[in-house]
Amino acid sequence: MADIIRKLRPFLAPLIIIVIAGGLSYYWLSNKPRANRKPEQAVAPLVEIIKPKIINHPTTIPALGNVIASQSVNLNSRVSGMVIAVSDNFIEGGLLKKDEKIVQIDPTDFQLAVRQKKSDLARAEFNLKLEMGQQTIAQREFEMLGKGLGEQARELVLRKPHLSSTRAALDAAKAALEQAKLDLSRTTLYAPFNGIVTARNANIGSWISTFSTGTPVVKLVATDTYWIDVSLPVDKIRWLAIPGINAKQGAPVKIFYEQAWGPGVYRTGVVKRLKAEVETQGRMAKLIVEVKDPLSQETANKHAPPLMLGTLVRAEIGGKILNDVIALPAGVLHDGNTLRLLTENNTLDIVTVTPLWSEHRQVFIGADQLPDNARIINSDLATPVEGMSLRLQEQKLAIVTDR
């Protein structure tokens, strides 16, 4: 036994130290100090606000439209003949003034016809004078011998049928002369208005037939005004001044054609009329916008770009003025009709509004829909709850204890 103890003696001291250390560790772990847990604290969300201003805002309605002719005509000849002269402007794209000579048909045959009809008229006038002399003789004979004659015999004796026939021949000769003169005047084709040539079907030496053949000599488009056939949503009509509907003067319009004119360049026009029908597919309303001097012929428009028929242009139509409204970024409007306000106590207030107008990522509401000095929240809130505490971005951190 003594030998065993003597052999184990070197191991006893380390074993005792391990046991004591283990006991102390268990004691310390079992009796370590505990911190008192404080109530959880919530941080009020940080928000930015907008302080709105009351303004009067002129509305603008964007639209697209095609440039069309306000007036066009297919000019045909009323007489047939050979072309002997044409205007220098009688080319496609040529500009013609009102009453300018376009085409001259050889007038020789028609001049001869006028001379012939004048001769016929002179003969008819002579025959009438001759008959008037016969009337005088017949009257004297009737006074001497015509007593007791019947009515029909009396008219024959007095040569009344002869006089009627002679007068009718004179009227016919006058009409024939007028027709010959009219045909002669029709050998010259004139421009009925200021216009531009869009098609021509005659030249010097060509034979022109009357309009019954169906081929026009020239097609003209009036250049005093062009129209723009504009499409826009039906619900925008009530915002516009339209002659014949709700106003004497049409709404002003700016016309843009960036592809040809570049950015920022525009022509001006006015709303002329509202078409009676809507588009068959898009159900869009159709407006006629009138642009004066579209080809910039007048001195006042000499630096303005010309409009071209058939082009698709962009229009900005001036609408009615919104009085006493507030303009807000579209992003502050939630669910289409609610705003989040910061109250005087820095809490959340959610109000329902009715937007009056929207354009260019802005929403306009009536100022009477908000309280005075309203502070509109322009920040996202993850879980907005009415009455929740908030803080402005410029304020120091505010700690709110949950209760």
- pLDDT of the residue at 398: 36
| Strands, E assignment, 14-70 | 41-43, 46-47, 49-50, 54-69
- pLDDT of the residue at 139: 65
Nearest CA to 328 out of 357, 349, 352, 371 is that of: 357
Decide: 210 and 76 in contact? Cβ < 8 Å.
yes
Cα four-point dihedral sign 157, 158, 161, 163: positive
Distance CA 211, CA 193 (A): 19
- pLDDT of the residue at 98: 96
pTM over 0.85: no
- pLDDT of the residue at 381: 87
Please list the rounded mean pLDDT of every run of 10 residues in the chain (403 residues).
58 66 64 60 82 93 96 93 95 95 96 95 85 68 58 59 80 94 95 96 90 80 97 93 93 96 96 92 92 95 94 96 93 90 91 91 92 90 88 53 34
- pLDDT of the residue at 31: 65
Distance CA 250, CA 242 (A): 5
Residues 154-168 as b/e (b if ≥16 CB within 10 A, e otherwise) read: eeeebbeebbeebee
Alpha helices in 33-159 (DSSP H): 108-145, 151-157
- pLDDT of the residue at 359: 87
User: At a CB cut-off of 8 Å and minimum separation 6, what does 100 contact?
Assistant: 87, 89, 190, 191
